[in-house]
Amino acid sequence: MKRLLILLAVLALTGLMAAAATAGTTLTYANFPPAKTFPCVQMERWKTEVEKRTNGAVSVQTFPGSTLLEGKNMYRGVMMGQADIGCISIAYYPGVFPLMSAVNLPVSFTSTEVASLAMWDLFQKYRPEEFKNVKVLTMFTCAPSHIQSKVAIRSLADLSGVELRGSGSLVTFINDLGGRGVGMPMSDTPEALQKGVVKGLVSSFDVLKDMNFAEICRYETITNLPVYPFAVIMNKAKWASLPDDVKKVLDDLGREQAQWTGAYLDDYVDQALAWSKEKYQVEVFRLSDADMAEIASKGQPMIDAWKKDVAAKGIDGDAVFSDMIGFKKKYEAELGK
């Protein structure tokens, strides 16, 4: 009797395993900000496309809102296989991705679609060492960053001593402009705002709506500060285990997904600002020409500092930078953005 039971159990298990094998592969995909935000919107679009294009051979299980991995442990978590796929904000990892941090420099990107395509091309051209531990599935950026604050910043003088949350080059920028930059991931920002640790943040306007920051940050100052670069990365062993036809589907989607995300966000930031004006009557300030010139004057030293920093890591910053500007101009002309 006991033997029979064991036999039955073994048979049942084998049956289950066979069913799992025919059902195909499930990939887990972790993301740090809440489900409504654009990195998660693009994640759901990618899931839909992958499931469709592999005819269901691959299914993707998504984990938004730091439910599987958080902003700062995303990279390690994907390398270790805690998630198969993860979305990282490059600015949250200072010094780890020196070459691709070029995209976070003040070069006046005005369109997310342009910035995302330029980023993708830059990555394809250099295939930088810094990503050798993972497979890169796509890349994109957020839109240009602006100040969103509880206190009115009508001029740079008003910024003096004001704590604002940022990341990457934006922290340096806030400090250079007289404010106090506080570095933290987007997902920690609501609490920091609530507790008064910061009086605002510097980010693209999508979060006014998606994180409901418009409710607490009633003042928006147009600053056209840099975009933040993102990468969607996959565990290398998991990638290697995929059949070639699936790999092809994922590879073919890389550039398309970058463009889709950029185009989505370009539209969305305008909608988010309009929504914030209507729902919370937020005020939007434009800085004087003199203040905008002051912001522009901080840009070159940051670019020079980046070039010096990457040179120490064996990267030809001049070449990378001029390629990025070349891609930017090419897409600005092509897309009329």
123 binds ligand DTR (CB under 6 A): no
Give the per-residue contact string, 225-264, with ligand DTR (x = CB under 6 A; - = no).
---x------------------------------------
144 binds ligand DTR (CB under 6 A): no
Shortest Cβ distance from residue 160 to ligand DTR (Å)? 22
Shortest Cβ distance from residue 40 to ligand DTR (Å)? 8
207 binds ligand DTR (CB under 6 A): yes
Q: How far apart are CA 238 and CA 231, in angstroms?
A: 17
Q: CA 26 → CA 49, 60, 85, 220, 239, distances in Å?
A: 14, 6, 11, 42, 12
Q: Could you tell me the sign of the dihedral formed by the alpha carbons of 233, 236, 238, 243, in that order?
A: positive
Give the nearer residue to ligand DTR in terms of CB position, either 59 or 212. Answer: 212
Shortest Cβ distance from residue 272 to ligand DTR (Å)? 10
Q: How far apart are CA 145 and CA 89, in angstroms?
A: 14
204 binds ligand DTR (CB under 6 A): yes
86 binds ligand DTR (CB under 6 A): no
Q: How far apart are CA 237 and CA 79, in angstroms?
A: 9
Token pair of 243 as six digits: 């059949």
Give the per-residue contact string, 36-65, with ligand DTR (x = CB under 6 A; - = no).
-xxx--------------------------
Give the nearer residue to ligand DTR in terms of CB position, either 142 or 147. Answer: 142
Shortest Cβ distance from residue 123 to ligand DTR (Å)? 18
Q: Pick from 54, 138, 149, 167 the residue near ligand DTR by CB under 6 A.
A: 167
What residues contact 73, with CB distance under 8 A and at least 6 apart? none
Q: How far apart are CA 221 and CA 291, in angstroms?
A: 12
Give the nearer residue to ligand DTR in terms of CB position, either 37 or 261. Answer: 37
Q: Pick from 28, 145, 221, 235 the residue near ligand DTR by CB under 6 A.
A: 145
Q: How far apart are CA 189 and CA 165, in angstroms?
A: 7
Q: Pick from 58, 142, 171, 231 the residue near ligand DTR by CB under 6 A.
A: 142
Strands (E), the chain: 25-30, 58-63, 85-89, 134-141, 145-149, 163-166, 180-183, 200-203, 219-225, 229-235, 283-286
* Residues binding ligand DTR (CB under 6 A): 33, 37-39, 89, 142, 145, 167, 186, 203-204, 206-207, 228
